[in-house]
Amino acid sequence: MQSTIRIITAAKGEHDVKSINEQFIDRKDQSSLNRFITQSKWNLQTIVNQGRNQLLNEAELNTNLEHTVIDDTVCRKYSAQTEMVCYNHSSTMGTVLSHDYVTSLYVNNEVAVSEGLKLYGNEEKCKEKSIEFKTRLELAMELIEEHTPKAKSTIWLWDSWFTCSEMAQECRLHGYNWIGEIKTNRIVFYGGERFRLDELYSRLCSDGVFFDVVVNGELYLAAGVEVFMPKVGNVSIIINVKAGTRDVHFLCTELTDFSVYEVVLHALERHKIEDFYKEAKALGFGEYRFRTSEAALIHAHLVVLAHTLLDVLRRRLLRYSIVGSMLSFEGTVEWLRRSAMHLFIHKIKGLKASTKSILRLIDTR
């Protein structure tokens, strides 16, 4: 728990054992923290699950419908000696030497909490570790298999990279629904004709079937058709364009009885994972210099735990009327840092120690 608090209260920068330890006075604890990160005796998944359950107990959950979002995120690394590091593609950085985490985010009403976290490595890196190689799709399907539903209906959401027959089949196996973005070069059959999706888009534009849809106060131009997709079966293709932009999105789902409005409404929940990544990385999700992949995974899970506990805290601050409105994650971190500083000041007021010792308490670099 101390390491989690250190992650929350740490300033920006790399979160390795040395930098985290420097927040505390006793330098001899360095070896203890090394062992805590690299040779932990506690069960990692158990402690993360306890944090997640604590957050879920804070909120009023919808027992009829839940969403779970699957995505992956790249954390840049600079040493090829780091275990499981390989070249992965990032939409913002290009192809970079990095760790790639396949993750799932549980979304229910206003709660969004990490549910699963798996580190991807290519075949060569897995061979070096003497572990079984699994593709990102296989890791994503493991996340689906490990999910425990809390509502009657579960809708899985993902981007175009994960839309394939294997993912659809995994959801069918567990009785889940799914909505995924889909690439425009995929082949479908519509009205007895074979189309690439970009060709189908042009056809629908010329047919004038697009109409205005207002979702969450935003105006979209959208159209939906039922098609047959090889290896997947009958699906609905929903094409939507946000008003005033050329940002065209192609959605695919087996929820063929859903309206265009309903599909777009559910699909927009996927963006919550982008907020999660942004907040988690601000807490140091990818900022570490551990050599072993086990240590990197432990650090990543502790950051997720810190993120979850911050969400619990900000909800309690509002419930107990300590603040007037729900704080942002950044605002919650700043509130916690200020509170920690006040406690620190009270601690040193009564200390009977030398000036040098007190200065060492303040000097956290």
pLDDT of residue 165: 97
Are 272 and 254 contained in the same domain? no
What is the extent of the structural domain holding 333? 329-362
Predicted pLDDT of residue 25: 42
**14 found inside a domain:** no
In sequence order, what are the residues at sequence separation of 6 or more whose Cβ sits closer than 8 angstroms to the Cβ of residue 182? 160, 163, 197, 237, 250, 251, 252
Q: Are residues 90 and 204 in the same domain?
A: no
Q: 169 and 74: one domain?
A: yes
> How much is the pLDDT for 11?
47
- 38 lies in a domain? no
Q: What angle do CA 156, 263, 279 make, to 5 degrees?
A: 55
> Which residues touch 271 (CB under 8 Å, ≥6 apart)?
none
Q: Report the pLDDT value the prediction gives residue 314, as an integer from 0 to 100.
A: 95
- C-alpha closest to that of 44 among 220, 257, 273, 305: 305
**84 lies in a domain?**
yes
User: Are 279 and 243 members of one domain?
Assistant: no
Same domain, 149 and 273: yes
The pLDDT value recorded for residue 341 is 67
Same domain, 215 and 337: no
Q: Are residues 160 and 195 in the same domain?
A: no
End-to-end CA distance of the chain: 22
Considering the domain architecture, whether residues 157 and 83 belong to the same structural domain is answered as yes
Residues 258 and 266: their CA atoms lie apart, in Å, by 10
The helix or strand, by DSSP H or E, that contains position 33, with its residue range, turns out to be helix 30-38
- Report if residue 222 sits inside a domain: yes
Looking at the structure, tell me whether residues 72 and 168 fall in a common domain. yes
**Total of domains in the chain:** 3
For residue 364, what pLDDT is reported? 43
Q: Please identify, among 258, 285, 310, the residue that sits at the C-terminal boundary of a domain.
A: 258
Among 276, 294, 312, which residue terminates a domain?
Answer: 294
Torsion angle defined by CA atoms of residues 21, 105, 274 and 280, in that order, rounded to the nearest 10 degrees: -10
53, part of any domain: no
pLDDT tens across the length of the chain (365 residues): 445 545 554 545 555 555 555 554 455 555 655 666 666 666 778 888 899 999 999 889 999 999 999 999 999 999 988 999 999 998 889 999 999 999 999 999 999 999 999 999 999 999 999 999 999 999 999 999 999 999 999 999 999 999 999 999 999 999 999 999 999 999 999 999 999 999 999 999 999 999 999 999 999 999 999 999 999 999 999 999 988 888 899 999 999 999 999 999 999 999 999 999 999 999 989 888 888 898 899 889 989 999 999 999 999 999 999 999 999 999 998 898 887 765 555 565 666 666 566 555 554 44
211, 346: one domain:
no
- Domain-embedded: residue 56: no
Q: Residue 74's beta-bridge partner residues?
A: 100
If asked whether residues 253 and 286 sit together in one domain, one would say no
Residue 281 lies in a domain: yes
Residue 46 confidence (pLDDT)? 85
Q: Are residues 150 and 286 in the same domain?
A: yes
Is residue 72 included in any domain, yes or no? yes
